[in-house]
A and B are shown apart, each in its own frame.
Chain A
Amino acid sequence: MKLLVCVSKTPETTTKIQLTPDQAALDERGVNYIMNPYDEWYALVRAMELKEAVGGTVTLLNVGPADNDAVIRKGLAIGADDAIRVDATEGGSLFIARQIAAQAKEGAYDIIFFGKETIDCNGSEVGAMVAELLDLAYVGDASKLEVNGTAATVTRDIEGGVQVVEVNTPFALSAAKGMAEQRIPNMRGIMMAKTKPLKVVPAVEASPTTRVQHYDLPPAKSAVRLIDPENMDELVRLLHEEAKVI
């Protein structure tokens, strides 16, 4: 099977978000970047498991600048065979989707894996965009994937439960928790990753469709109001009369 895993780079999960003084961007000082957890833990690992079970190749794809190569190398250390980076400094979900679609079309992959969402922009839309651009089936928030030849059964998370869907290759999915277990790259993987092919290709033309005007942080919470643990009637009264939530 030819498997493509789209990976993005995001600030590490414990990052304290601070903005530049003009609020136009994230203040990147001291921010550590990682591979988006959904892409790494679930999409990439499930693709690796499938390759191990039925043979084939796992290709990583990232759209971004050269700084992203460290994240891509980590994916190669986890076990992907090769990688493509579309060299781009612009963003925007549809721009990114058009870049992925252009590469995916050329590679004729059986399954294109995405993460459920990036943990920075929380868009949860790039995978569906690529599917539409390539006229493919798409299953979002997939927590389980079983493949049998060209047929696949995908379980997707829905509100308060799951839905089991049958689909044929080629198709695209976005991976959520449950699809696989995180893998830590070993020394051999890290050494091998250094020599695996990472092809850099230019971006295709695409005009922006959205523009972030500015960012702001949630207002600081006022200090917590402590309630006597013996007096839960008082808490109920406050929730009813002050917070008006019950």
Chain B
Amino acid sequence: MVLVFAEASNGKFKKAAFEAVTYGAKTAAALGTECHALTLGEADAAGELGRYGAQKVYHLNAPELATFDSAVYTAAIAGAAQAIGAKVIVLMHNSTGKNLVGRLAARLEAGSAPGVNALPKVEGGKFTVRKAVFSGKAFAEVEILTDYKIISLAGNSIPVEESGAAVAVESLNVALPAPKTKVLETKRAEGITPLPEAELVVSGGRGLKGPENWGVITDLADALGATTACSRPVADVHWRPHHEHVGQTGVAIRPNLYIAAGISGAIQHLAGVNSSKTIVVINKDPEAPFFKAADYGVVGDLFEVLPRLTEAIKKHKGV
């Protein structure tokens, strides 16, 4: 059996949860077994996960699960897997998943693969997954050797697919330990799709010259409905908040579209963005290394090109 931990954020499921359930359902089909989903804490309409292929959906809600604690969530997920006899556990490769994959692997003495980006290969009794290594500069095919297998799915790796219908939500009895941490505060920029989940990203570098010039980036992002990002030096000098920093030492992203303006394309920057499906580079220097990694390039002054692109997008959208 495959168990998917589908995380809800403020009670709502996001696309990444549907991707994980889709992944779990396809993995279960390859293994000739069922896919069940589990959600913890506050969650609305969990039965909807059935649409993406979960044959059963369990919802556990207890005071200990109201805020995130890695030890409690681990006990809940491992306990649920044991209760239903699931051997493959699929999580989302986000901040929650990163706190859980290792704990679950240690608890269940399982092989783990954080951040897989394709469906597993199931052949001749072997279970092999694919993940990016060397910060996106290479891929590894990793065989999981143990009975229990813990996988987290990198966002935007597989398309969400509907293959079923909503199901009734069931409860489960799992013993939970007392939390070891207490959440004091959660601060989130409202109304913006966070970078790791964004399908469209517009990013600016030192070529912008200063924070006062960011309007050309945010105007384009607004027109597209994209999330904004930046290169590391830009975040280092606080032109932009540090959660916008993408690259090897920042957020690693894999959007459908990455538009980079005034960014030279240093190897450490590319490491975090080269899994993007389509890359557009705008730079006044035709020799900028980023053009080698780009699908589409515009050699020109970003202060002229970006507003033109924004207008063209608005025209395309009929605004």
Write the residues of chain A forming the contact surface with B, with a CB cutoff of 8 angstroms. Answer: 11, 13-17, 19, 26, 37-38, 93-94, 97, 119-133, 135-141, 143, 153, 156-168, 171, 177-178, 208-218, 221, 224-227, 229-230, 232-233, 235-236, 238-240, 243, 245-246
Question: Does B319 interact with chain A (Cβ within 8 Å)?
Answer: no
Residue of A nearest to B255 (CB): A245
A224 touches B316 (CB 8 A): no
Q: Are B95 and A164 in contact (CB under 8 A)?
A: no
Given contacts A94-B111, A210-B142, A210-B144, contact A161 B293 (CB under 8 A): no
Closest Cβ of chain A to B300, distance in Å, is 3
Residue of A15, A138, A156, A232 with highest tally of chain B CB at under 10 A: A232
Most central of B107, B109, B297, B301 by chain A CB within 10 Å: B297
Given A243-B257, A246-B257: A128 in contact with B316 (beta carbons within 8 A): no
In the bound complex, CA of A202 to CA of B101 (Å): 27
A128–B101 touching, CB < 8 Å: yes
B305 touches A (CB below 8 Å): yes
Check if B181 sits within 8 Å of A93, measured CB to CB.
no
Whether B180 pairs with A171 at a CB distance below 8 angstroms is yes
Which DSSP category, helix, strand, loop or mixed, fits chain B's interface? Answer: mixed
| Cβ-defined contact, A121 with B245, below 8 A | no
Assess the A120–B297 pair: CB atoms within 8 A.
no
Q: Which among B99, B277, B305, B312 has the highest number of chain A CB atoms within 10 Å?
A: B99
Q: Secondary structure at chain A's binding surface: helix, strand, loop or mixed?
A: mixed
A158 in contact with B188 (CB, 8 Å)? yes
B residues 219-265 near A (Cβ < 8 Å) are 224, 242-243, 245, 248-250, 252, 256-257
User: What are the residues of chain A within 8 A of B304 when measuring CB–CB?
Assistant: 229
Task: Say whether B200 contacts A246, CB under 8 Å.
Answer: yes
In the complex where A13-B267, A211-B145, A218-B138 touch, is A225 in contact with B184 (Cβ < 8 A)?
A: no
Partner of A138 from B70, B242, B297 at Cβ < 8 Å: B70
Is A163 touching B71 in the complex (CB atoms < 8 A)? no
Name A94's closest neighbour in chain B (CB-CB).
Answer: B105
Q: Judging by beta carbons under 8 Å apart, are B186 and A239 in contact?
A: no
A141: chain B residues within 8 A (beta carbon): 95, 98
- Contacts A162-B187, A221-B292, A226-B297 given: A137-B180 contact, CB under 8 Å? yes
Given A120-B134, A213-B128, 13 further pairs, Cβ under 8 A: A11-B134, A13-B268, A122-B133, A124-B114, A130-B102, A133-B106, A157-B243, A208-B145, A210-B113, A210-B142, A221-B292, A224-B292, A238-B296
